[in-house]
């Protein structure tokens, strides 16, 4: 995202290169369903993409940060990556078996979230799945900073976050094949003393 750009190299060391628990769970889910290719909006520097690629799934990414794309290339990620914002989707006319987007949708405002979900759904093959992970209202950052709208806060300068709960999940994803959602604790794998972050994993299926 834009606010990461200036100090991206420093921040990437904070997150490390291990895939998230969400990506590992999504990989297992996709393999069970014989998924061959996925679109990853917000691919970042590729720490989640590799777990899919290593298991035979073809990955196409979207990433707004050229710095992140360059870092992904330096770390051996040779997947196709579109340079741009997810708010400008679609970048191609392909339909994908599945879509995986981690920790991105909560950085968008209401109109952007609605367009993003619709654009992802439109790029799914019939019976394809899309999986989003997002911060929960149970996360410690909820309610911090300046409130911009219901459950939407500028938690620090330039960092705006929407915090999901059951009602907002049903409202945003209900008409896009919502199948299930579940809470997941994401350990801070490269920051041993930090508590896990409360995330929600949301699964939708295209009918």
d(Cα 52, Cα 40) in Å, to the nearest integer?
Answer: 10
pTM, entire model:
0.89
Looking at 75-179, list the stretches that DSSP marks H as alpha helix, in order from N- to C-terminal side: 110-122, 166-173
For the chain, the average pLDDT equals 89
The number of angstroms, rounded, from the C-alpha of 76 to the middle of its chain's C-alpha atoms is 21
User: Quick one: pLDDT at residue 17?
Assistant: 72
Residue 203: count other Cβ atoms within 10 Å of its Cβ.
18
At 194, the pLDDT band (50, 70, 90 cuts) reads low
Better-scored residue on pLDDT, 1 or 101: 101
Domains contained in the chain, CATH given: 2-205 (3.40.50.150)
Spatial contact of 46 and 65, defined as CB atoms under 8 Å apart: no
């Amino acid at each position: 995202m834009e606010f990461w750009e200036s100090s991206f190299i420093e921040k990437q060391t904070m997150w490390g290169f291990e895939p998230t628990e969400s990506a590992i769970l999504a990989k297992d889910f996709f393999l069970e369903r014989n998924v061959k290719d996925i679109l990853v909006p917000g691919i970042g520097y590729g720490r989640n993409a590799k777990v899919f690629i290593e298991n035979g799934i073809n990955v196409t990414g979207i990433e707004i940060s050229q710095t992140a794309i360059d870092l992904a290339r330096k770390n051996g990620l040779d997947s196709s990556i579109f340079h741009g914002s997810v708010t400008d989707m679609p970048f191609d006319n392909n339909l994908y078996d599945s879509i995986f987007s981690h920790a991105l949708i909560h950085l968008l405002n209401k109109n952007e979230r609605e367009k993003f979900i619709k654009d992802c759904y439109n790029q799914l093959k019939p019976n394809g799945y899309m999986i989003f992970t997002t911060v929960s209202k149970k996360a410690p950052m909820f309610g911090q900073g300046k409130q911009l709208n219901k459950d939407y806060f500028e938690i620090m300068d330039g960092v705006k976050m929407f915090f999901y709960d059951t009602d907002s999940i049903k409202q945003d994803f209900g008409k896009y094949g919502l199948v299930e959602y579940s809470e997941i604790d994401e350990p801070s794998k490269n920051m041993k003393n930090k508590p896990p972050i409360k995330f929600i994993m949301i699964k939708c299926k295209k009918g």
